[in-house]
Structure 1
């Protein structure tokens, strides 16, 4: 007689976080709230765009990520 083979599921499996698609979160933030999150080294940007992002970041937050004033 064959009995069904049941897989044991650990109760802690429910507590494991789901992976978040960060690009989808960034896109949703831009579309809904007009918040833009950009990595200066993003390969989708050309050299001029990277420089613009760097300058905006330094103007808002200072060099090395430290705020002015």
Structure 2
């Protein structure tokens, strides 16, 4: 007799780190996720992404409270 599963197939086990989730999203779905404070980005790389985020989703709550 097989043991009962308490989680659906594909759940549990090894968890991917955040960077792997981002890589997989890019490779599999064409999704692009970046943190604006990523140290690998320069200001000229970061600023247009911030502006695009604001255009698509509005100002971030944190920025609205502080400025």
Q: TM-score range by the shorter chain?
A: 0.5 to 0.7
Indicate whether 1:41 and 2:51 are aligned: no
Deviation, 1:20, is 2.9
- Who is 1:53 aligned against? 49
Which protein shows a greater Rg?
1
Structure 2: which 5+ residue stretches go unaligned? 1-11, 62-67
| Coordinate RMSD, CA, aligned | 1.8
TM-score if structure 2 supplies the norm length?
0.64
- Counterparts of 2:18 and 2:38 in 1: how far apart (Å)? 14
- Counterparts of 1:18 and 1:32 in 2: how far apart (Å)? 19
- Counterparts of 1:64 and 1:21 in 2: how far apart (Å)? 24
Structure 1: which 5+ residue stretches go unaligned? 1-15
